[in-house]
Amino acid sequence: MRIKKRAPAHPGVILRDLYLSPLNITNTRLAETLGVSRKAISGIVNGHKSVTPEMALRLSRAFPNTSPEFWLNLQKNYDLWHVAHESRDWQTVQPLFTIPTDAPA
């Protein structure tokens, strides 16, 4: 696994900087549009909450040029980077088996 040195942006930063701010959309307006609480949007925008699959579906409907996969990939990349850099326990896991190098692909 290739590990990047710089942390990916939290999806909330992308949401705020590339969508909400340029379009002059408030957290309250987005929350009303998505049918969620303002607190839920604030948590994502401030990097305290994750984008869930349901939220990804809602965001992709509100912002038609995006997909649920876009929002979930942002979250996945953010989460994986942080776990890889904040935990070392995963590095002690040993492979269950090896694949012979002369085996057909």
> Would you place residue 87 in the very low, low, confident or very high pLDDT band (cuts 50, 70, 90)?
confident
Please determine, for residue 3, whether its predicted confidence score (pLDDT) is greater than 60: no
The per-type count for the chain, helices as H runs and strands as E runs, is 6, 0
Report how far residue 51's alpha carbon sits from residue 96's, in angstroms, rounded to the nearest whole number. Answer: 32
Mean pLDDT taken over the chain: 93
Q: Which amino acid is at 13?
A: V
Please determine, for residue 104, whether its predicted confidence score (pLDDT) is greater than 80: no
What the chain holds in terms of domains, given with CATH numbers, is 11-81 (1.10.260.40)
| Residue 60 tokens, joined | 């992709």
Report how far residue 32's alpha carbon sits from residue 60's, in angstroms, rounded to the nearest whole number. Answer: 15
Query: If you search the block for the tokens 């994502």, which residue do you land on?
Result: 44
State residue 100's pLDDT score: 87
What is the per-residue pLDDT across 8-36, written as a single tens digit (0 to 9) for each? 999 999 999 999 999 999 999 999 999 99
The predicted model gives 46-57 an average pLDDT of: 98
